[in-house]
Structure formats: C-alpha cells, structure tokens
Amino acid sequence: MESFILQILNGLDKGAAYALIALGLTLIFGTLGVVNFAHGALFMLGAFCAVTLNRLLQVSHVVLDETKTDFLGNPRKIEVPYIQDWLGETMGAAIIDWSVPLSIIVTIPVMILIGVIMERGLIKHFYKRPHADQILVTFGLAIVLQEIIKAFFGANPIPTAAPQMFAGSFDFGVLLGFDPFTVFYPYWRLIYFMFSMIVIGAVFAFLQFTTFGMVVRAGMADRETVGLLGINIDRKFTIMFGIAAAVAGLAGVMYTPIVSPNYHMGMDFLVLSFVVVVVGGMGSLPGAVLAGFLLGILQSFASMSVVIEAIPGINQVIIYLVAMVILLVRPRGLMGRKGVMED
Amino acid sequence: MTRSNFTRRGLLRTGAATGAGLALPTIFTGSAWSAAHSGYTNAPEGGTVTLGFNVPQTGAYADEGADELRAFQLAVEHLNGEGDGGMLQTFSEKNLDGTGILGKKVEFVTGDTATNTDTARSSARSMIEKDGVIMISGGSSSGVAVGVQALCQEAGLIFMAGLTHSNDTTGKDRRANGFRHFFNTEMSGRALAPILEANYGKDRKAYHLTADYTWGWSQEKSMRTYTEAMGWETVNTVLTPVGAGDFSSYITPVAQSGADVLILNHYGGDMVNSLTQAVQFGLKDMQANGKDFTIVVPLYSELMARGAGANIKGIFGSQNWDWKLENEKGDRYKGTNAFVQSFGTKYGFPPSQAAQTCYVQALLYADAVTRGKSFNPCSVAEALEGFEFDGMGNGPTLYRADDHQCFKDVVVVKGKEEPENEFDLVEIVDITPRDTATYPVDHPDFQGGSLGTCNPGA
C-alpha cells in the first residue's frame, strides 16, 4: 500500500510537468491551429530563466583572505556577491537561496515576450501552410534555441537548488497511519504539484471568467464569426501564444530543483507531451491536463522494480502502449472534439 | 554517325555502382587505411603529428569530458615545451624533452562522443580518415571506450583509454592496440569492501541502482561479489537508463525494500541526480533494520562531488587518483603536485581524476613512441607492455603486458563533512596498495576475450 501511494505521488509531479506543457501546446493548437514543436524549448528556456537569475544574484567581487590558502598555496580568494554588500549578508544570502521561486516574477514577462516574438516573427507566416511545414519550422526553431542555450551555458546540467527551507521530505506515512519513513516525499515535489494546480486553475479561470477568455474561447470555436464582429482575434491569439509560452516557462522554472537544467531537457519532455496532447484529445484543455497526470502516474508505476522484472523495459514504452490502446478505443483521445484535426 | 553505347538505364546502373563504391567506408579503401607509404596507419609526415582526443562534450558525462579535454590540451603544451612542464619533471622516464614527439610538434583534434558509442565511433573514424590522427585517447564511458578501442584495433591505431572503469575494457573486450591507465570495478570492489565492513559491519542489506550498460553491470557485479563475500545480502538490483534525469520512480521503492544500504552504480551527471534525489527522498535520514540507512557510490570523483554538493557528505567511494594525494600521503605520489600546479594555474581549479588519467595517458604514449623510436602502433604497444613507471601521481605503476591494464594503488574516499572550500569536498580515507588491488590474469570476470595481435593497419 505504501509503495502504491508513493508511486501515485511520484506520478503527480511528473504528470504536473506533462500537464503544464501539454496545456500550452493545446492552447496554441486550439487558438492558432499550429503544431508547435518548439514548446519543449520554451520549457527549457523557463528553466534557464531560473539559472540566469541565480547566476545574476551571485555576481561577485573577490576578497583576498590572507589567513587562508587555496589549493595552490596562494591567499584564498573569497567571492562575495554584490547583493550581500548592498542588502547585508543575511538578506543577500536569503535572496540567493530563494532564487528559484523569485524567478517566477522574471519568467512571466520574459516568456510572454519570447512567445509574442516567436509568433509574430516566425510562426504567423506558417498559419496557412500544411501542418508538416509548421512542425518542421518549429522543430528547427527548437534546435536553434537549444544551441543558443548550449553556447551560453554549456552542455552540462546545472544544479539549481530549491530554497533550503524546502530541502527535506514530508512523512506521509505518519499522517496516514503507516510506519515512519515508509511514505516519504520531498517538499519541493509537493510544491511543484501544488504550483502546477494553481497555474492550471489560473489558466482555466482566465479563459472561463474574463471577457478576454470568452472572446478567445469564441475564437477557438469559430474564428471567422468573431472576426466579423469586429474583434481583432489575431491579436488575442498572439497574446494566448505568449501565455502558453509563460505556462511552459513556469513549468521549467519550478522543475529546476527536481532535475538539473540542461539544454536538452525540452526535447526530453516534448515527445511525451505530444503524446499527452493526442491522448487527451487534440484541442481539449481538460483532456491535456487529465492525460498529463494519467500518463505521469502510469509511467511511475511502470518504473517499479516488480513491474520491470515482470516486463523488462516496460517503463520506457508504457506511455506509448497506453496511447495506442486509448487511440484504438477512442480515436479522438480521452476528451477530443469532433472535427479537430480531422480535415 | 557515332552511336553511343550509353543508355539511360546503363548510366543509372553505372552511377549506382560507382556511388555504392564511394559510399563504402573509406576506412577500408582510403590512403589513410592502406598506409602503403610507411607500413602503418597515418604515419606522420612533415614536422607535426596529430593526436585525436575523443571525449564526451555533451550528455551525462560532459563534465568529465570537459576536464579530460583540458588535461589533453595541457599535455600537448608540455610535450611541445610550453608551460611549466607539469609531470614531465617528475616522470621516472626522462625521454621527453619538450620538443614534441620524436622531434615533431604535437597537434590535436577533438571530437564529441556525446556519451554514445555510435557517435563516438563515427567521431573517431572521422579523426582517422580526415584528420590523419596517429593515436586516439578519451572516454568517460566504458561503452564508448570499448567501441572506440575495437575501431582503433581494426584501423591500426593505438587507443589510450581515458576514464573507463568497466572490467570489460581490459577484460573480455581487450585489444592489442588498446591500453588503460584508469582502474576498474574489480579494483574498486577490492578497495571498498574492507572499509565498508569496518564502518557498517557484516550484517547489511543492499539495494543496487545500476546504469544499464557495460560499466554499470560490471560495477554491480564487482560490488555484489565483494559485499556478499563479507556477509551483506543483496535485496534487489534495478537497471536504470543512462541520462534518465529523474530517478525518483527508481528511488521510491528502496525505502520499502527492506534494504539498509543503497549502492548507486551511477556516474557523472546521473550520479549527481540520483544521489541528490535519494537524499531529497530522505534516504540518508532514514532508519532501516534498526540501523542508519546509508548510501555508497563505488566510483567517485571530485566533479561529481561538486555537482552533488552537501549531499555527498559521509558517502564512501573509490577513486583512481585525488589532487590532494601527495600533500596528504607523501612522496610516493609525486607528480601529483606538479600536475595540480600546472592545471590549477591554467584553469583556476584542481584537476579531476578524469583529467589526471588522460594527461598521464598522453605522456605515456609520447614516451613509448620515444623509447621505441617509432610511431608504429606495434612499436608503441611493445614499449608499453610490462612498462613499470613512477612519478605520475599514482605511485609505482605497472602496465601489465597480459591485458594492457595499469596496476597501482587505489584511493578510498568519503564525502567530507566539513569542507574548507569549494574544492575540498572529498576526504582520503584509505589507500589500497597495488598488491591488494592486483588480480590474477585468469580472474573469471575478465575472461571471454583475448588481446589478439597488434595491428599496425598496413
């Protein structure tokens, strides 16, 4: 039972990342009709926003400590971040410690801007082109973005820690009446799950309860009619592209303490996120979220040693197997709408 | 009127045949391979000689690869008489005088193995055919090392393995043209077992997470052999994909498995991630079977310790070398400080064990060429076989002729509890003497292959 609960918890944080990326993908597909293969790169860019802020906060000047020596026997150079000079040692250290959550503030405008530039600068020229062309151009864009990050940050993963306050784990075992240390789960992963739920809720609320969201939903259902009413639906869809980019970026920012960011991390998530979108149903936002969590949890169970022993390699293919079965039974995915991508 | 015999179909057929001929691996047809001019592949002409450094610049072992490349660059500088000479001053042989190799200036080309055997072989092939390299060195993954070593054997080049720790490199996959300075998993097992027994006792239950390729399998087997021999029970072994990133689904079952030791047979970025996540999941704070839960990382490095940060504290492992050896353990490890001085001055931080093994391999190759007075790989192999040397930082070392494996002391380390600075992360706990680390030539874990004969490529 404890293993069962643990694997569900495990699947929730992985599923949360899939759900956030798939949500953005679906938003873009639903509004602009574009299959955006650069969406994984946006997740990666978000993670590197956190890395960048962390590095900026640690820009330092060197102070020589004559009382100690370095590994070469020279007086030891101690790097003191400027922020500690300006705000004091304790406050400066606390801000550096909290750099990942603080990155959220920076990431939202940066990612919206990147999204808008991407859409206006490149992707809008491919609206009327076949999906194959859109896939090729966005995939190419993803590779370009990856290589830019690699050129600036190198190829190695960059460990980026969560605030010290969240370094430990929460003992669910005690809470649920099991023995201590049986259902132990890291605080940060719980925070990631809760954060993703807040972001997903915010996106749904934005679409459901604001005038802007109502127009966007109307545009998703019938773009031409909304346009004939004198509404500049293209501009609204551009903003939605920016919002989708911000959602992917936020998913990346908060994921940095879970897996050290590297230039390739977007690609690792992209393929699985597309499977999530297809399983959820092309164009269905709730479907993307549901499929994200479902496939995350399934992948987690398939990685259990008893399962791998019974069916070697199942952890690598489970998502694709389940996707095949779902698409055979429900060709439009779990919550797919009739007519979407069926032309 | 002249009638041509060419038809469209005939032209296509001829074109296809010509294309197929050209598409055949040029390694089997090109001048580089035939080397008719001098009896061996890529015999250097003119005043320069080119070495090929094939290291992971991307992927899970990219940190190690970057440090290997730094060390190779430093070695080339020293061979060409630039810089302070590094270990050339302490090396027991005095044949290298800073005038290159046999009077030829050393140049080098680099390749990215991407921690992938196919990519590594393709990169090595390009170095052989296009760049005309005379020797290839590098590694950081045993899968890569074994693959490139086999290619060098076919092509008639010497392969001076970099960081490769699987028994297979000098075991079932050994080759006459391949030489390994780095230690292996058998030596890690021999070195670690007594320390683990002294610190954790004989009644322990171990759970292995193992990288799913030749090195991981080899490391797991050696650790199981030696821990089970001292009474530990192996509760479970689970293979994990290289570069998995998130190991949480492999780590969570450990707490319920009944194990009280987690042995992470991971390396590089994978080890940093799996250890960090194991600590995040509370394994280090846990109690199991009435004992403190403990984690062991059989193959350690300072680079990994830097990546893992505070999570590495108190965790035992083994190393081929450590930059503090000479300061802490004395003159037996001379050469260490000379290398640290050169490397540290140039790059601003101490070298890793990956850097040391690559630097030493480059110098050993140059020395073997000089002693044999030829770049012919068979002459180099002959000079290296049974070669006993000192002053390269590891103490007295032997390149055993039977399997082309170096035998030297093994360093047992532990993550330092109170590091004094960002480089002081590893504490040297013990040194396993060379005699204890040495295993017989007919050790069962090293059977199934043979060196064969040296191939000069002609």
**Beta strand spans in chain A (E):** 60-69, 75-81, 169-171, 184-186
Q: For chain B, how many structural domains are there in total?
A: 2
B236 vs A: CB within 8 A: yes
Q: Please report residues of A whose CB lies closer than 8 A to that of B66.
A: 154, 156
pLDDT-derived band at B5 (thresholds 50, 70, 90) equals very low
Return the structure tokens found at B199: 């610190």
Average pLDDT value for residue range A233-250: 92
- Give the pLDDT mean for A212-231: 87
Regarding whether B337 and B301 lie in a shared domain, the answer is no
pLDDT value for A221: 81
Q: Which residues of A touch B252 (CB under 8 A)?
A: 3, 6-7, 9-10
Residue B83, number of CB atoms within 10 A of its CB: 17
Task: Supply angle C-alpha A23, A25, A27, rounded to 5.
Answer: 70
Residue B412 falls inside a structural domain: no
pLDDT at B38: 67
Residue B18: pLDDT band (50, 70, 90) is very low
Of the residues B304, B319, B334, the one at which a domain ends: B319
Q: What is the mean pLDDT of chain B?
A: 88
Give the SS3 label for residue B450.
coil
Which of these ranges, B98-107, B187-196, B258-267, B449-458, has the smallest mean pLDDT? Answer: B449-458
DSSP H or E stretch at residue B364: helix B353-372
Do B72 and B175 sit in the same domain of this protein? yes
Which pLDDT tens digit goes with each residue over A295-336? 888 888 887 777 877 887 787 788 888 888 988 998 888 887
Q: Are strands B287-288 and B291-292 parallel, antiparallel or unpaired?
A: antiparallel
Pick from A168-177, A236-245, B63-72: least confident:
A168-177
The pairing of beta strand B397-399 with beta strand B387-389: antiparallel
Least confident of A52-61, B235-244, B287-296: B235-244
Q: Is B42 domain-assigned? A: no
Both B390 and B309 in one domain: the answer is no
Among B319, B343, B371, residue at a domain's last position: B319
Inform me whether the C-beta atom of residue B351 falls under 8 Å from chain A C-beta atoms. no
Comparing alpha-carbon positions, the chain A residue that sits nearest to B342 is A72
Asked if B389 contacts B92 with a C-beta cutoff of 8 angstroms, the reply is: yes
Q: What are the tens digits of pLDDT across the range A117-140?
A: 999 999 888 888 888 888 899 999
If you measure CA to CA, which chain A residue comes closest to B246? A259
Give the per-residue pLDDT at B413.
95
Residue A115: which pLDDT band, with cuts at 50, 70 and 90? Answer: very high
Least confidently predicted of A39-48, A166-175, B257-266, B442-451: A166-175
- Do B300 and B350 fall into the same domain? no
Q: Chain B, 30-89: which have a CB under 8 Å from a chain A CB?
A: 57-59, 62-63, 66
B 408-447: CB under 8 A from A? 420-421, 423-424
d(CA B174, CA B447): 10
Q: What is the rounded average pLDDT for all residues in chain A?
A: 87
Do B177 and B191 lie in one domain? The reply is no
* Candidates B210, B235, B256, partner chain A, best to mutate (most A CBs within 10 A): B256
Same domain, B143 and B120: yes
Find all residues with CB under 8 Å of B268, minimum gap 6, and list them. B60, B61, B62, B63, B64, B115, B140, B303, B304
> Which of A213-227, A328-342, B28-42, B164-178 bottoms out in mean pLDDT, i.e. has the lowest?
B28-42
% of chain B at pLDDT higher than 70: 91
Which of B238, B245, B273 has the CB atom closest to A268's CB atom?
A: B245
Burial class from Cβ neighbours inside 10 Å (0-12, 13-18, 19+) for residue A79 reads: exposed
Picking from A160-164, B33-37, B259-263, which range would have the lowest pLDDT averaged per residue? B33-37
User: What is the average pLDDT across A279-303?
Assistant: 85
Is there a domain that residue B204 lies in? yes
- Specify whether B92 is located in the same domain as B166: yes
DSSP per-residue codes, B160-176: EE-S---GGGGTTT--T
CATH number at residue B103: 3.40.50.2300
Residue ending a domain, among B270, B294, B319, is B319
Same structural domain for residues B166 and B204? no
Residue A227's Cβ-side half-sphere holds a number of Cα atoms within 13 Å equal to: 9
pLDDT at residue number B186 = 95
Q: Please give the pLDDT value at position B31.
A: 40
Q: Does some domain include residue B26?
A: no
Residue B25 inside a domain? The answer is no
Average pLDDT over residues A223-235: 87
Assess whether pLDDT exceeds 60 at residue B127: yes
* pTM (2 d.p.): 0.81
Q: Kindly state whether residues B283 and B218 are assigned to the same domain.
A: yes
Rounded Cα gap, residues B405 and A188, in angstroms: 45
Q: Would an 8 Å CB–CB cutoff place B18 in contact with chain A?
A: no
pLDDT of residue B35: 42
Interface contact flag, A186 B344, Cβ < 8 Å? no
Residue B268 is assigned to a structural domain of this protein: yes
Q: CA-to-CA distance for B360 and B74, rounded, in angstroms?
A: 11
Overall average pLDDT of the A200-204 stretch: 93
B163 and B63 in a single domain? The answer is yes
- Comparing alpha-carbon positions, the chain B residue that sits nearest to A13 is B248
pLDDT tens, residue by residue, B47-56: 999 999 999 8
Residues B160 and B267 in one domain: no
Does position B23 have pLDDT exceeding 60, yes or no? no
Tell me, yes or no, whether B178 lies in a domain.
yes
> What domain range includes position B130?
48-183+326-407
The verdict on residue B56 lying in a domain is yes
**Considering only alpha carbons, which residue of chain A is nearest residue B285?**
A181
Q: Average pLDDT in the B3-28 region?
A: 45
Radius of gyration of chain A (CA): 22
Residue A338 banded pLDDT, cuts 50, 70, 90: low
Q: Are residues B192 and B218 in the same domain?
A: yes
Percentage of chain A beyond pLDDT 90 is 37
